[in-house]
Amino acid sequence: QVQLVESGGGLVQAGGSLRLSCAASGRTFSSGGMGWFRQAPGKEREFAAGISWYFGTTWYADSVKGRFIISRDNAKNTVYLQMNSLTPEDTAVYYCAASNSVSYRSRYFLSSVYSNWGQGTQVTVSS
C-alpha cells in the first residue's frame, strides 16, 4: 500500500506562485506514474498534471499548461507541482494520486487509473 501526503497549499494573491509537494511512502511502483487532480467547490474533480515514474514524461490539462510544472524526485519519492501565474479559477482542493498501471501513458487523465490518493491540500487564490 502506498501512502501519499500532500503539503504546500495555502492562500495566495492572483499572479502569485505556490509549490505543492506529495511524499509517497510504503510500496513504490516501477510502472505507472503520479498525477495531480483538483476539485473546485461545486465542480467535479479534474486532472491537472501527470508524470510517469520511469521516463518522467509529463502531461498537463490545457487550463494549466504553461503555468504549472510537475516534477519528481525519485530519491525522495516525492512529486511536486509548481504553480505559477495563479488565478482565482485555480482555487480548489488539490489531490495527488499514484498509479501502477502499465497503460498509464494513455490513461493518465482518468481518475480511475490511480489506485492511491492523498488527503488533499487547499489552494485559495484571491483576486
Q: Which whole number is the average pLDDT over 65-93?
A: 95
List the one residue out of 125, 116, 91, 109 whose CA is nearest residue 29. Answer: 116
Q: Rounded CA gap, 70 and 73, in Å?
A: 11
Q: Is the pLDDT of residue 54 over 90?
A: no
pLDDT confidence of residue 75: 85
Instruction: Compute the distance between CA of residue 106 and CA of residue 127 in angstroms, rounded to an integer.
Output: 36
pLDDT at residue 25, as a whole number: 87
Residue 98: its pLDDT value, please? 94
Q: Which three cell numbers stand for residue 54?
A: 520511469
pLDDT 10s digits, 85-97: 999 999 999 999 9
pLDDT of residue 53: 87
CA angle 27, 120, 98 (to 5 degrees): 30
